[in-house]
Structure 1
Amino acid sequence: FRQLLARRELGRCRQEHEEYLEEIERLQREAFLALVHRERESARRRREQEAEAEQRRREEQQRRARLLDAAFDGNLGEIAAVLREVDELLTREGVGHDEVGAARRRQQRVALLECADPRGNTPLSEAAAGGQPRAIQLLAEQGASPNCKGAFGRTPLYRAAFGGHLEAVEVLLKLGADPRLYADDGSTPAQVASLDAVASVLQSWDLCLTEAMLQNMEAERQRRAQEAERSKEAEAKRMNLKVQQLAKEQRQCHKELQQAYCELNRRVAEHDKCERRRTGKAELTLQAIQDAEAQVDRLRQEAEKAEETLAMARLELREQTAEGEEEAPGMKCQVTELHDVLMKDVGDRIRADGRWPVIIDPSGQAATFLRYQDTNYLDTVNPDHMRPERIRLALLGALRYGKPLVFDLQEVDLFPAVQQQLEAVQPGLAQELLSRRLLEQDRYLSLLRPSDGPEYSPTQFQEARLGQFRLFFVTRVRWPTAEQVQVLLPVLVQQPSGGL
């Protein structure tokens, strides 16, 4: 009878095991499909953004070509239409009509008016070459410079004189065109004038008027430069506030994700306990695990979206402040170089810096590498791994055997939580460990407890092994907080150029 019951129990266990494996396979398949879907969606958004950027570039080129042709032909309606399109485009982008918005609109308008063809000729220069005084007047009123130099160093006045356009020459002189400017060959507009009337006007022109107008134009240029600087500062301030708000939202997303991970681990522990005790509530606990996993997946996607939005805002802020693509602080390495950089510290760069590394790798390959090395690995989203006693023993073991202690922060900002748990082990431990003072003058012996076994006696800690101790933090967050960058050495793991 006992054998019969044992066979039945064995059959039930095998059936449950098969169902468990099927469930795991289903969940893995769903997770893989979700990952593929996210990657495809990300690639689709990236293609759409590239297509939109290319479309904007083509439209900008078309507007410039239309403006140049309209200026040469004297088509005032087309010139006004092109300028109106630029104004409407800025309106669609959300640029207002306040002081900052008006300054940005003027900057965009002047930038368009100062565009040049492949030979370097601007729309005003084209209007001068075509003998279009009304187009010259309109373009100059909108902010175009009458003294710009194009192909062969020829000014609009030079080209108008060369073409024999008397009325265009007179308008340019009244607008401040300087008849003394030389072309690359050393000739002046008066010397190349094709009509005597044009040469006479240029030679008899009162240069005092030109000097006065040049001073006015210089004053206007300085005023615009100051206006642009004020607009730039205001925009940078606005972007700073936006970045701060997005960073706050990102931290909130990571906090919620951390709580969801803790809840998932609690549900898994409850399920394991039910399986061991056979209380018959395994289905309920399994459903709770699935709900917790769904919550983690949803919050992870929200955190990734918040991080991407924050990264784009930071990029826009760098462009607004004219810093360009600044180099990320710290070190960079490939995945294949992790052993040399982290474990061997080739070149003693980590030791010379004095800070422990935080390995930034959104792909997660660095975490996998460190997990399967000879390290004491702690998963910070697992509450069991973050117990003070476990952290203390993991730290003592790493010091005793001279191997790395790894805190895997996952894609959650858990660095403050790690510091808090280190303080729970021993007050002041976080600062002593981060500053390496714990390794000096046998300070680490303060971590020993009377209940520790003989393997943790002071004689078991050797100086040579203590010198090989490492502390690593690894994160999937692309932009660590300023606190982490300040106290830790960023090591950015770059992906191979060919991708995966």
Structure 2
Amino acid sequence: MLQYLHKNMISGKAKALPGKGVGKTPVKQSAQAKKPVAGLRANTKSNSGQKTVSKSASKIKTEKKVAEKGVKAVCTAGSKKEVSREEKAAMSIQCAFRKHLSRKELAKRRKQKVEYEELMDRLEKEAFVAMVRREQEEAERERQKEEDERKKRREEEKRRKRILEAAFEGDVAEILAVLKEMLDLDTNMGVGLDQVGKKQQLHCQLKMIECSDPHGNTPLSEAAGGGHPEAITLLVENGADINTKGAFGRTPLYRAAFGGHLRAVQTLLQLGADPRVYADDGNTPEQVASMDSVVRTLQDWDLKATESMLQKMEAERQRRTAEEQKQKAVEADRLRDEVQQLIKEHERCQKELQKAYCELNNRISEHDKCERKNMGKTELTLTAIHDAEDVVERAKIAAHHAEEQLSLSRLQLREQSGGGSVSELIRMKCSVRELDDVLFKDVGNKIQQDGRWPLLIDPSGQASTFLRYRDTNYTDALNPEHMKPEVLRLALLGAIRFGKPLVINMMEVNLFESVKNQFDQIQAGLMEQLLTKQLLQNERYLSLVRPSDDLQYSKTEFRSSRSEKFKLLFVTKLRNPPESLLTALCPIEVTIPQPR
């Protein structure tokens, strides 16, 4: 090779070697070229003198440089070798196959998107149908309630008309009959005969005695206008206000004097009627009296007796006011006790529902085990699953009824004490299609400004389905396997490690305390650190890493850019979650849009 290069380089006709020499590095070829050059130098030195040696050395250096350039030319020629047909065909096949895979993956993703949209549409329609059915049931109950109220008002209006007419006509028996009907009605409504029940009956009776017609005239005013002393006495003894003003500001004494009913005037004066009260026309009973005997009776009446009676009536009025305040306090205490009892009943129903769900999960696990091991008992396990599902449905109905009763009692207690409603604590509402913007993008920074983790109030169950299809660490609080401390620890670490939401679905059961206890088993006070977001500060979550964990959970794999995207989401189907839950978390009510 050196002789070939040496001969052609000197003649200036260096050519590239055939493809056989391609592939050898220039460094190796230069090393090979050095050896013959050294030998050539030795031969020249042995055959010539000192002058010849120096000329040969300079000539050899020149030839060495030319040889190196030739080697480079050979390598360059080898690197520009043309691609064969086989290689071109292989590359074409690879490109076509990659295009095929890309089209296949694109079609798969489009299909998944269509299936997802169809599923969401179907879920929305099902939820809308369920909502409409529920609204129809609620509307029917509301209609029935309004019908009962109208019936009650009609009956009350009839009793009011009866007692007013009976008072004007002096029919004492009819007045007593109406009052007895009021007592019977209270008894039928469940009012007891204890002290509280008697006070409530007295209140209803007094309300009937103090009723009025469209002109403002009470039964006592009508009895005075009709001139019936017996009816007047009966009504006053049962709590009627003797100086109440009716139409045109006229008192019962005014009407009795105007009608010339002497006995009625005397009875009213003895019971405490004040003859000094003016009507809207500026007249007193004495000035409008139609008989001289009535005028003399009013003129001769000792006003000291009236003052004494008025003081007694004022004391009685204050006593009744204090009694009403006391009655309200007793009623509030009764409502509180009722709420406490309903809370215990609701908790019992919640525990029964949780137990039913756990039993259902166990039956499903047994069925899966039988199928894996081909034990041939799938029919029995399926029957057990159906039975467990029936138990869950019954427990759901009982829990729902207990929740409604509790909500109603809490509403009555808030109205009694003048407090606000639970709905005031729920300030955010969104549909399922807006969950991505609200939860993941936080459009408007409402969740960030609130500072609490979101609580999705979703009776329809759409939000949980939506979150299952998203890249989240989804846990079912009713599944014992999901609530194991080690499973929760890895789910939490994975969510922080990869910057994903950790979803805890509590279904129809208030399992917040149970979930809190499971987290605290992992590390003392862990749930509190999660709720206050202290766990995400200064990489405190690294304390959850165990030496036995996979390499993906090693401390060097966590990045702050990912952990900042971590979210903790709670989901519940309870329409009226406890106020403690609404206070600890940021409540977001998931609404159901109209179907397209």
Take 1:191 and 1:197, find their aligned partners in 2: how far apart are those partners? 13
Q: Choose the corresponding residue for 1:157, options 253, 267, 276.
A: 253
Q: Contact (CA 8 Å) 2:422, 2:579: kept in 1 or not?
A: no
* 1:77 is aligned to 2:152: no
Pair 1:327–1:74, CA change in 2 (3 A):
farther
Q: How does 1:84-99 map to 2 (within 5 A)?
A: 84-99=180-195
Pair 1:342–1:77, CA change in 2 (3 A):
farther
Pair 1:72–1:467, CA change in 2 (3 A):
farther
Q: Choose the corresponding residue for 1:315, options 391, 394, 411.
A: 411
Show the counterpart of 1:477: 574
Q: Which one is further off, 446-455 or 131-140?
A: 446-455
Show the counterpart of 2:332: 236
Pair 1:461–1:117, CA change in 2 (3 A):
farther
Shift of 1:373: 4.9
Q: Which one is further off, 74-83 or 88-97?
A: 88-97
Pair 1:434–1:110, CA change in 2 (3 A):
same
Show the counterpart of 1:378: 475
Take 1:209 and 1:408, find their aligned partners in 2: how far apart are those partners? 75
- Counterpart code for 2:392: V
Q: Choose the corresponding residue for 1:330, options 392, 403, 425.
A: 425
Q: Contact (CA 8 Å) 1:334, 1:495: kept in 2 or not?
A: no
Q: Choose the corresponding residue for 1:359, options 456, 459, 467.
A: 456
Shift of 1:78: 0.9
Take 2:283 and 2:468, find their aligned partners in 1: how far apart are those partners? 75
Shift of 1:311: 2.5
* 1:488 is aligned to 2:589: no
Q: Choose the corresponding residue for 2:309, options 205, 213, 228.
A: 213
Percentage of matched positions with identical amino acids: 55
- Counterpart code for 1:280: G
Take 1:74 and 1:43, find their aligned partners in 2: how far apart are those partners? 45
Take 1:75 and 1:495, find their aligned partners in 2: how far apart are those partners? 60
- Counterpart code for 1:270: E
Take 1:105 and 1:128, find their aligned partners in 2: how far apart are those partners? 26
- Counterpart code for 2:367: H
- Counterpart code for 2:404: E
- Counterpart code for 2:193: H
Show the counterpart of 1:12: none
Show the counterpart of 1:56: 152
- Counterpart code for 1:215: Q
Q: How many residues align?
A: 467
Q: Contact (CA 8 Å) 1:332, 1:494: kept in 2 or not?
A: no
Take 1:457 and 1:371, find their aligned partners in 2: how far apart are those partners? 27
Q: How does 1:72-471 map to 2 (within 5 A)?
A: 72-319=168-415, 321-323=416-418, 326-336=421-431, 342-343=439-440, 345=442, 348-453=445-550, 455-456=552-553, 458=555, 461-463=558-560, 465-471=562-568
Q: Greater CA radius of gyration, 1 or 2?
A: 2
Shift of 1:486: 4.5
Shift of 1:390: 3.3
1:265-318 per-residue CA deviation (whole Å, 9 max, x = no partner) reads: 121122122223322111111111111111111211221222222233333434
SS state of the match for residue 405, structure 1?
A: strand
Shift of 1:254: 1.0
Q: Which one is further off, 277-286 or 196-205?
A: 196-205
1:147-186 per-residue CA deviation (whole Å, 9 max, x = no partner) reads: 1122332222222233333322222222222222233343
- Counterpart code for 1:207: L
Take 1:203 and 1:460, find their aligned partners in 2: how far apart are those partners? 104
Q: Contact (CA 8 Å) 2:430, 2:588: kept in 1 or not?
A: no
Take 2:288 and 2:217, find their aligned partners in 1: how far apart are those partners? 18
Pair 1:370–1:50, CA change in 2 (3 A):
farther
- Counterpart code for 2:356: A
RMSD value over aligned CA atoms?
3.3
Pair 1:457–1:185, CA change in 2 (3 A):
farther
1:339-398 per-residue CA deviation (whole Å, 9 max, x = no partner) reads: 665555566554444433333343434444544455433221123332333323332343
- Counterpart code for 1:323: G
Pair 1:368–1:147, CA change in 2 (3 A):
farther
Take 2:384 and 2:178, find their aligned partners in 1: how far apart are those partners? 61
- Counterpart code for 1:428: G
Pair 1:324–1:391, CA change in 2 (3 A):
closer
- Counterpart code for 2:418: E
Shift of 1:80: 0.4
- Counterpart code for 1:395: L
SS state of the match for residue 393, structure 2?
A: helix
Q: Contact (CA 8 Å) 2:428, 2:587: kept in 1 or not?
A: no
Take 2:392 and 2:345, find their aligned partners in 1: how far apart are those partners? 17
